[in-house]
Homo-oligomer: A and B are copies of this chain.
Amino acid sequence: MKKTKQAHNPMHLRFAVLSVDVALFTMRDHRLFVRLIAVNRPPYFVNGKGLPGGLVDPKETAEEAVKRHIEAKALIDPEKTYLEQLYTFSGIDRDPRGRVVAVAYTALVPWEKLSATERGDTDSAFWVPVGEARELAYDHDEILGMAENRLQSRIAYTTLISKLLPKEFTLTEMEQTYESILHANLDKRNFRKKILKLNIIKSIGRKRADGAFRPAELYRFAENKVKEIEIL
């Protein structure tokens, strides 16, 4: 009888506050950074930090909400980012303000695509090396950890790395990006052989001179779409 009564409640009496949170990553001189925002709500008054996020409006999808909050909270143009849904966190006490279910997203953006403002830090939004982003508000440590794990495994069997690299890049940059995310060293020769055989990137016939040494061949991704291929 209890169950039946619940099941017959009008829908508007059943509600959950729905929110989105996003782990927005970029690769800044071979280190992975995440965009954090200041959290100044109880009980996170003192120097609180957390992932950008906020509520979902009744008339927007979760993805639209993420984009809106990336713009408003992270102060980054959402159109520059690549979004993937990560996981939905529905723990009852994950937010001290009440029942809030969060759909978490991972977002990637190449550092080179960002404007000077977007690269900068303010009191309310700032870039932090992933390794130093700890003790975040709510369950954001868990969300960030899951985002990092997922990123690590997905770059190994998809072309996701293309969403962190600039349009034109060298093989050394590509290799360093992998090494930084995977916390591993790759063999230069074997890496090049493997990547070139996959036909996911193509030389654009130009070189980049970056100092007093041999310039590196520039490449770009053959497709814009993220494909599922065994890379490493």
Contacts and interface: CB of A to CB of B under 8 A. Distances in A.
A45 to B, nearest CB: 19
B14 A17 contact: yes
Contacts of A17: 11-12, 14-16
Task: Give the number of times this chain occurs in the complex, counting copies.
Answer: 2
A153 interface: yes
Q: Is the interface of A mostly helix, strand, loop or mixed?
A: mixed
Contacts of A103: 88, 90
A133 to B, nearest CB: 24
A189 interface: no
A97 interface: yes
Given A88-B88, A103-B90, A16 B97 contact: no
Contact of A101 (B12, B18, B99): B18
Nearest to A102: B88
Interface stretch (A60-68, A123-131, A134-142, A218-226): A60-68
Given A18-B16, A103-B90, A6 B62 contact: no
A92 B14 contact: no
Nearest to A11: B17
Interface in A151-206: 153, 157
A229 interface: no
Interface of A: 3, 6-7, 11-12, 14-18, 54-63, 72, 85, 87-88, 90-92, 97-101, 103, 153, 157, 228
14 contacts: A11-B97, A12-B17, A14-B18, A15-B18, A15-B58, A16-B56, A16-B58, A18-B101, A56-B101, A58-B99, A59-B92, A60-B92, A61-B91, A85-B87
